[in-house]
Structure 1
């Protein structure tokens, strides 16, 4: 098992080298400048689209804009925000947060391009059903000669979207925050982890075998409430420790460039650490969200791109920042030997009154983890269907739920290394195809906003 863990860590570290960093962050910076900072200029319009102002039930697709964003956020606003940020700070210091912010800003532009393309170049599976995602963007937008690159994405997606990290961290928080402090599960942790894993399998199966419409419905109900609950809890921690907030921000900016806390002062390494955790958190440039947004009921690619760009803002700039600040202002990051979700639980437990902090986090973790478990299965089935045919894609879910058990009993190091490495592999075809097809997105954007301006002018003339 140790040999496998070492192999996965070496694979992940090799994958997340400087070339991939340049592709993800450099590519996102190119998208931002090339678009003339469009994602930020049309933020208000994006919110109107999200509110359903332009919804048409007759448009092609399976779910509306709100459900598409909620389902994508159900996968991104998850354990990456609670335990992923803790892992990042534990290994890279507080300065990692700054580079996560940078990744989120450029990630908004990346999401705009990749998710616009997911609608623009939708294909059909072997059952004739309309599908979206990087593999269809590649085959429909670049041509059949690029199909090996599309297949490469789909193979990586089979493993990159496995629920092992969510299962691992949910098992950890249940054992260390709920069971062990109450005198339960103090012995034979493997069997307790196995039992929790099997329970997760049963609950997850009830939802994921219902398909995307059930996933979208469940996520649409759960995501807003989980974000609100988590934000209220962390804002209370901010209020209690309000005098420490200026110092926390100063520490983040100072550490972002000195990296004195860890990594031997290697600023390049801390940038990579921030980019890795941001990619795991908001998935900008990875391609998973493009698969979800590709199912949206719309025939306007730019609208879905605008909705998708809200994901990194909500996920990283809001939720990840709140988690990071909670860990920093409570001092947990340098006073605790814990890692992952346990570090965040320690921060909550030390700040919220009456000892309820850890249990509030457990409730949040349950919702975050389960919505992630539900949504990730959809990504894997789409990759499986692309590779082997839509009639067989439901078989992937059996493999998917089986790996929940593996995630529950494996080490966090092995789990993170596998997911990180596969995310890196998925990013290559996603970003390469988006960069090549970016002129098509800009032509569509100019046409869309021209039509929107003409529509507004016509309405104004009629009102006069």
Structure 2
């Protein structure tokens, strides 16, 4: 089966290649310019909405604005922010971080549009319950003739939402940080034990549906972001005299590419390759344009789509501009990116060990575990919604059972082929999402004009 392994590895690489990045980044830049950077101009209003100033329990939907954002963030804050940033720096150097920031700023505009559409064009499932997400705004916004695009998104979502990769990486982190250093032999049985533990906790939450997922995520995600911030703050305080230098280096190296491999070029040069590398890591981290966040934001309690779009655009800011930057600075100021051969989560763990040798990695492991666990909750909901759209709401529980089983598979096997398949189809979710979003962008701008005019005249309170 080696040929199939190579085929799926090539498929994953191609799916996350240049065409997708052009669609995500180019499409997001187009939306930003077309809207005259509207989301940034109403950042204060977005925060007020998030704080609950405009919450109305009688509005349609299932969860609050804050719970919707927490659910969406729970799927993006995880290995991409901790291991993904480490990969970005290990391969591309400090300059890669700058281009991740650019990707996040563009992604904020994309999430504003996609999540506004998720509420603007809500549909109903086979039970008659109101639902939101790319598959619904494709059908409701573009018409029945576009349903094949919605079906394609849902099929990709069924596979892409499976937790095999996330569970596999979490199990590896537990083995590397907790078990092996303490003399516990890693085996199939120990991995199975980790898998059973994850199954028990995940099942307890996801069987309660989006309401319970939203409540749990709204408590776990902010708490872990704060804990992660405190741990990194300790590292930065210990190296405060070097912080200014590395912040400057992020900006200068972004245009010099001194640390990027000289034999890897794009658009005629090393700088082009660095830009592509940083943007790709950023897009992978915040998932703007993929279509996952609108599945969560579509369940928000609101009758004003623009409000939810503004809340959603805060996601990439928190995910990439805050959490990813914390990881990057911890790795840079400790110097482990130059003094070790570690990569991924091991490189981040080395940074924490450098300043906090006794408890740093355990604090990191707590953050990794909670971030990854919360991702399991949200992705189960995403896959269930895709199942419901394709086969009816009464059958979505079958996906939940299969999802729980796949946690055990991910914990006990490497499954490189399955991981490449999931990674590839996850990327393909962006094609129907961004296609519909670009076509429906004028509808969002029209709704925004009406909404902000209503704010001025006090029609919307």
Question: Which range, TM-score by smaller chain?
Answer: over 0.9
Measure, in 1, the Cα distance between the counterparts of 2:283 and 2:354. Answer: 29
What SS is found at the alignment partner of 2:40?
A: helix
Q: TM-score, normalised by structure 2?
A: 0.94
Q: Does 1:276 find its partner at 2:280? A: yes
After TM superposition, give the deviation of residue 137 of structure 1 in Å: 0.8
Determine if contact 1:67/1:219 at 8 Å carries over to the other structure. Answer: yes
The one-character-per-residue Cα deviations of 1:46-78 (angstroms, maximum 9, x if unpaired) are: 111111111111111100111101111111122
Q: What is the CA-CA distance between 1:196 and the residue it aligns to? A: 1.5
Please, which of 293, 306, 309 is the counterpart of residue 305 of structure 1?
A: 309
Counterpart in 2 of 1:219?
217
SS in 2 for 1:455: coil
Deviates more, 1:127-136 or 1:340-349: 340-349
| Mapping of residues 259-408 of structure 1, within 5 Å | 259-263=257-261, 264-266=263-265, 267-352=271-356, 355-408=358-411
The 1:270–1:420 alpha-carbon spacing in structure 2 relative to 1, beyond 3 Å, is farther
Q: Partner residue of 1:44?
A: 44
Q: Per the alignment, in what secondary structure is the counterpart of residue 408 of structure 1?
A: helix
| 1:45 shift after superposition | 0.5
Q: Which residue of 2 aligns with 1:56?
A: 56
Unaligned 5+ runs, structure 1 = 460-464
What's the offset of the Cα at 1:30? 1.0
Question: Are 1:80 and 2:80 matched, yes or no?
Answer: yes
Q: Per the alignment, do residues 152 and 181 of structure 1 end up closer, same or farther by CA in structure 2, a change over 3 Å counting?
A: same
- The aligned counterpart of 1:70 is 70
Structure 2 Cα separation of the partners of residues 43 and 69 of structure 1: 15
- After superposition, what is the alpha-carbon deviation per residue over 1:371-390, rounded to whole angstroms, capped at 9, x for unaligned? 11111100000011111111
1:135 aligns with 2:142: no
Q: Structure 1 stretch 364-373 or stretch 440-449: which is displaced more?
A: 364-373
Cα deviation per residue 1:110-139 (whole Å; 9 max; x = unaligned)?
011000000000001111110000011100
**Per-residue deviation at 1:271?**
3.0
Any residues of structure 2 matched to 1:210-249 within 5 Å, and which? 210-249=208-247
- How far the C-alpha of 1:435 sits from its partner, in A, is 0.5
For residue 443 of structure 2, give the secondary structure of its aligned residue in structure 1: helix
Distance change in 2, residues 1:411/1:321 (3 Å): farther
Q: Deviation at 1:336?
A: 2.4
**C-alpha spacing 1:3/1:98, structure 2 compared with 1 (3 Å):** farther
| Greater than 6 Å deviation, 4+ residue runs | none
Once residues 87 and 6 of structure 2 are traced to their aligned partners in structure 1, the CA distance between those partners, rounded to angstroms, is 18
Which segment is superposed worse, 162-171 or 261-270?
A: 261-270
Query: Aligned equivalents of 1:396 and 1:2: distance in 2?
Result: 29
Within 5 Å, give how 1:27-176 maps onto structure 2: 27-176=27-176
2:436 to 417, 433, 438: 433
**CA shift digits 1:321-345 (9 cap, x unpaired):** 1101111211222322333222211
Change (3 A) 1:227 1:255: same
Give the Cα separation in 1 of the matches to 2:446 and 2:328.
39
Tell me how large the CA RMSD over aligned residues is. Answer: 2.0
Corresponding position: 1:202 with 2:200: yes
Structure 2 segments unaligned to the other structure (5+ residues): 266-270
CA spacing shift, 1:269–1:156, aligned 2, 3 Å: farther
> What is the aligned length?
455
Partners in 2 of 1:272 and 1:191 — Cα distance? 41
